[in-house]
Amino acid sequence: MRILDKYILKEYIKTLLIIVFAFSILFLVVDISDNMPRLIRKGAAGNDIVLYFLLRLPYLILLTSPVVVLLSGLFLMSTLSKYNESIAIRSAGISILRMVIPLFWFGLIFSLIILVLGDLILTRSEEYRDFLYQERIKNQKVEDKKMRSHIHYLGTDNNLYYIGFFDGYRNILKTIDITTFNHESGSVERKITAGSAIWVDDAWHFKDCQIRFFQDGIFRGAIFYDTTIINEVDVTPIDFIKSAKKPLSMNIFELRQYIERLRKVGENYSREMVSLHQKISFPFANLIILLFSVPLVSVSSRSRSRGLLFGIGLLVCFLYLSALRICQSLGYNGILSPFIAAWLPNFTFFLIGIYFVVKAEV
C-alpha cells in the first residue's frame, strides 16, 4: 500500500472513530432522557436499566452509520482542502479518483462488516432487549401468537383453505373447509369439511370429516370418516403461529423462514419481505453515501463553496434516509415490490454520487 493510501485511511478512520463515539454518547443521552422515566415508573432494577440502554447501541450505530461515514469523509476532505494537501496531491499527478480509492475500498469493507454485525449482533441485542423489557421490567410473558381465528389461504396444491379457529397450545384446528377447483372451468371438484383436526405423529387427524365430490359443479357423492388423515394438507402447527419477534430481531435466515411460514398460510408478508431486502441493501448505503464527500476535495481552501458543499452533503444524507423511509412505506403497502422498495434509494443515489465524483475530477 502506498504512503498516501495509508495516510488517507489513517486520517479517515481516526475521524470515523471520533464521530462514532460522539454519536453514541449523544444518542444514549437522548434515549435515556426519553425512556428513563418510564423504566423507573415500572420499578426496573438499576442493572436492568443500564443493560437496556447499552443493548440499544448496536441499533444506533447501524442506523447512523451512513451519516457517520459521510461526516467522516466530509471532515477529511475539508481538511485536505483547507491545508492545500489536495492541491499538492494533484500537483504530483494523482487524480482525485485515485486519491479516494482507499476510501471506496474501506466503504465496501465497512458495508460488509455492518451487514454481518447487523445480522449477528443487532438481532441478538434487540431480541434480548425486548425480552429484558417485557419479562424482567414489565413482568409479562413473551410468546408467539398461538390463538388465531378465521384463517383463509391458498395452499401449495391450489386448494382454498378456511380454518375457523387454531389453538396453538393444543395444536387443534376447528371448523375446517377445503375446496378444490377445476382450474379450467372454475367449478368446484371436491369439498372437504371437518369439525376439528388434531396434530399427532406429524400429521393432522381430521375428525367428523366429510369429503364431497362434484363434476361440472354437480354433486356426485360423498364419503364420511370419523377420523382420517389427508396427506395433501402440508401445513404444520408452526406455520399458523405468528412470531412475537420483530423483523429487526430476526436474522436473514430466520426472517426467510418466517416469510415462508406466512406464505404457506396465505398471510400478507409484504412488510417482512421489505425488511428482508433492507437488511441487505441498507449496509451498502455506507459506500454510496461516501461518494458525496469527494467533491469537497476539489474546492479551494478560500472558497465559500466549501461550507455550501458540506451542507449539501448532509442534505443528501437526509434525503437518502427520507427516500428510504418513503420507499419502505410504499413497499409495506404493496405499491412497490419489496426488492424495488429496498434497492431503489441505493440505485438512485449511487448514480447521483457517481455524477458528483466525475464532476469533481473535471
DSSP assignment of 32-94: HHHHHHHHHHTT--HHHHHHHHHTTHHHHHHHHHHHHHHHHHHHHHHHHHHTTHHHHHHHTT-
pLDDT at residue 156, as a whole number? 65
Taking residue 255's Cβ as centre, other Cβ atoms within 10 Å add up to 23
pLDDT at residue 347, as a whole number? 92
In a domain, 246, yes or no: no
Q: Is residue 126 located within the same domain as residue 9?
A: yes
How far is it, in rounded angstroms, from Cα 123 to Cα 279? 11
SS3 state at 191: strand
Which of the listed residues 221, 239, 257 is the one where a domain comes to its end?
239
What is the pTM assigned to this prediction? Answer: 0.69
Residues of the chain with pLDDT under 50: 300-301
Q: Is residue 131 located within the same domain as residue 162?
A: no
DSSP state of 267: -
How far is it, in rounded angstroms, from Cα 156 to Cα 264? 7
Task: Give exposure, 164-196, as e/b (b: 16+ Cβ within 10 Å).
Answer: eebbbeebbbeebebebeeeeeeebbebbbbeb
Backbone angles phi, psi at 242, to 5 degrees: -85, 135
pLDDT at residue 75, as a whole number? 80
Q: Is residue 41 located within the same domain as residue 134?
A: yes
In a domain, 50, yes or no: yes
How far is it, in rounded angstroms, from Cα 297 to Cα 94? 13
Q: Is residue 54 located within the same domain as residue 130?
A: yes
Q: Is residue 153 located within the same domain as residue 43?
A: no
Q: Is residue 72 located within the same domain as residue 127?
A: yes
Q: Quick check: 94 and 26 in contact, CB under 8 A?
A: no
Domain coverage including residue 159: 147-239
In a domain, 303, yes or no: yes
In a domain, 262, yes or no: no
Q: Is residue 80 located within the same domain as residue 180?
A: no
Q: Is residue 222 located within the same domain as residue 323?
A: no
In a domain, 187, yes or no: yes
Q: Is residue 128 located within the same domain as residue 162?
A: no
In a domain, 354, yes or no: yes
Q: Is residue 107 located within the same domain as residue 158?
A: no
**Number of domains within the chain:** 2
In a domain, 356, yes or no: yes
Q: Is residue 217 located within the same domain as residue 198?
A: yes
Q: Is residue 172 located within the same domain as residue 300?
A: no
